[in-house]
Each structure stands twice: as C-alpha cells, then as structure tokens.
Amino acid sequence: MKKPDSLSVLVFIRSWGITILLIALWALFASTSPIFGTFENASLILGAASISAIFAASIAMGVFSGALDLSVPGTAAVAGIILGKLIGGGFDPFLSIAIAVAIGALIGYANGLIVQTGLNPLAVTIGMLSVTSGLAAILSDGIPLFDKMDTLGWLGTEIYFGLPSTFYVVIVVFAIGTIFLTKTRGGIRFLAAGGNAEALRRAGVNANTYRLLGFILSGALAALGGVVTCAYTAQATPTAATGVLFDGLTAVALSGISLAGGRGSLPKVLVGALVISTIGSGLLIMNIQPYWTITITGLLLISALAGEHYLGKAVARQAVGKSKVSAHKEAK
C-alpha cells in the first residue's frame, strides 16, 4: 500500500469499487447459471432494483443534507394507502399520485420542523415511523386495498422497449436529482448544509432552509416509492415495509457515501441498489434460501461502512502528503 502511486489506487477503489463489485457479481452469477445472463433476467433485476433505488434515493437525499430519515417506510405506507383510497374512489390517477407524493413531502416537512427545534433526528423520525405506520393502518382498517389498483399497471408492471416501467421512473428521479446536486446553486448549498451548516450560515445563507429541504425531498421520494410499490403489486398495503429502509441504507453505504452527510452521488447509489437486487436475484436463481439475501445485505452494509472508513482515512493521509508537495512546487 505504500507504493508511490498508492493515492491514485486508493482514489480509484473509492470511486469505482462499487461498480467493479457489480460487474464481478454479474460475472459470477452468469458463470454459474445460463438463465442469469439473459436479457429477460436483467430486465427482472432492473424491475426489482428500481423500487429499492427510489427508496435509496429517498434515504440518500436525507443523508446528503445531514439527516438520516428513518420514517421512510411509514411515509411510503401512508402515501400508498391514500393512493389506494383515491384510486378506489375513482379519482384521476395523476392527481392521486400527485396528492400522495405531496403528503409525503408534508410528512418530511413536519419531520424537519420538529428536528429544527433541536431534537435528535433519529429519534424524531423513528417516532414519525410509528405515527405514519399507525395512520396507514387506521386509514385502511388494517387491510390491503385492491380496488382498481390494477389500473396502475402502466406505472408498475408494463414493459416499454424491453425495460420495466419502474425503471423509467428511476431514470427521471436520478437524472433530475443528479443535475440538482451537481449543477445548481441549490445543490451546492444543499450539500454544504449537510457538510458544515455553520460554514453555510456564516456565508450568509439560511442553512435551515436547506436542511428542511432534505427532509421534504426524503419524504416526497419515500411517498413516490410507496406509489410505485402499489403500482407494481397492484395493491396498497398498510404495513410499513422496514426492509426498504435497510436496502436503501445499504445502497447508500455501498456507494461509499459518508453517512455523516455533506457529500453524495446519486448514480453511485443506483449502482448500490443494483448490487443488492443482483445478489437477491442471483441467490434465487442458484436456489439458495432467500433468507440468505437478508443476511448478506446486512454483511454488505457493515463491510461497506468499514471499507469507507478505512479508505477515507487512507486517502486523507496520502492526499495531505501530496498536496504539500504540489503547493511547494507552485510557490516557486
């Protein structure tokens, strides 16, 4: 590790490790099963990955802005039930979806306002998880809603040009999100609020606005995840699926993004979500008990955090050494 170019090796692993892992997994599974490498299976994996990816984006936006939002599954459940009620009641589908997503944003806004009074975000969002899960069950009397839900097939199960409809939702969400984060003033301040809110404040910017925005986006995306789940399964379930929380968190951690906030790349989160779905699908095809997927996801989460911890430290150490050298050269 102490070779002269070890910094570039470390930086390379840090930026491409997750993509390499994905390719390695594909190669591994494709070599053990002829079905795995087919276009149909790839499309299936994409379909499964898409829903996780939307939830991952929801969690990622929170993390980037400096807050881990644990209420995501509850928000998704409430949004789903409200969608189910509206669709069942014969409402226009687009309007219903818009209302469901807006309610998600509102729940996020409430989270943000409560956290800004100085309470711990983890505790607040866990509380909100209970509140929203309970609400979803109350609204639906605890039973799933099926009425007219199959009319959402265009959003959930249709295949366009060989790719599942849900994947198009992902493309739109991730493209807009990435442009926002990397190209706009709002994105810069959004990330700065997660990295060092005090610095943003001293620069004369209202940092609280951007932290609030993190919760709002997280809530809206969680609701969108709930909507797409309903469309995919053709039903609205009142139970909060906490699994999406762990998958989403693992996708974020796999992408090498510090959970401390202030930095982030949505494309990497997408690759992280693909890794998780690939493992799920690969194990299924290899006839391995599905419970292993859960265990492996947990192991992935831990090793991703450990890897990022080690790599981050190593890069920082090496980079400071290098920067001194280059500054000296420039001064001459």
Partner 1 sequence: MSEQKSVALDLEGIELHYGYVKALDGINFKVNQGEAVALLGDNGAGKSTLLKLMSGVHKQTRGTIRVHGEEVHFHAPKDSANAGIEMVYQDLALVDALDSATNLLLGREILRKGPLGWLGFVDRKKMIAEANAETELLGVKIANLTRPVEMLSGGQRQGVALARAAVRVNGKPNGILLLDEPTAALGYEQKVMVEGLIKRLAAAGIAVVVVTHDLPLAFNATSRMVVLNRGRKVCDVQTTETTYEKIVGYITGALPAQEGI
Which residues lie near partner 1 (CB under 8 A)? 183-186, 188-189, 191-192, 195-196, 198-205, 262-263, 316, 319-320, 323-324, 326-327, 330-331
Question: Rounded distance, CA 104 to CA 184, Å?
Answer: 24
Of 85 and 268, the one with the shorter C-beta distance to partner 1 is 268
User: Minimum Å distance from CB 330 to partner 1?
Assistant: 6
Of 225 and 262, the one with the shorter C-beta distance to partner 1 is 262
Of 156 and 262, the one with the shorter C-beta distance to partner 1 is 262
Give how far Cα 276 sits from Cα of 191, 256, 263, Å.
26, 14, 22
Of 31 and 184, the one with the shorter C-beta distance to partner 1 is 184
User: Minimum Å distance from CB 206 to partner 1?
Assistant: 9
Query: Long-range pairs for 207-210 at CB < 8 Å and ≥24 separation?
Result: 208/116, 210/65, 210/186
User: Minimum Å distance from CB 21 to partner 1?
Assistant: 23
User: Minimum Å distance from CB 97 to partner 1?
Assistant: 24
Question: Rounded distance, CA 166 to CA 52, Å?
Answer: 11
User: Minimum Å distance from CB 189 to partner 1?
Assistant: 8
Of 1 and 325, the one with the shorter C-beta distance to partner 1 is 325
For 149, counting Cβ atoms within 10 Å of its Cβ (0-12 exposed, 13-18 middle, 19+ buried), the class is buried
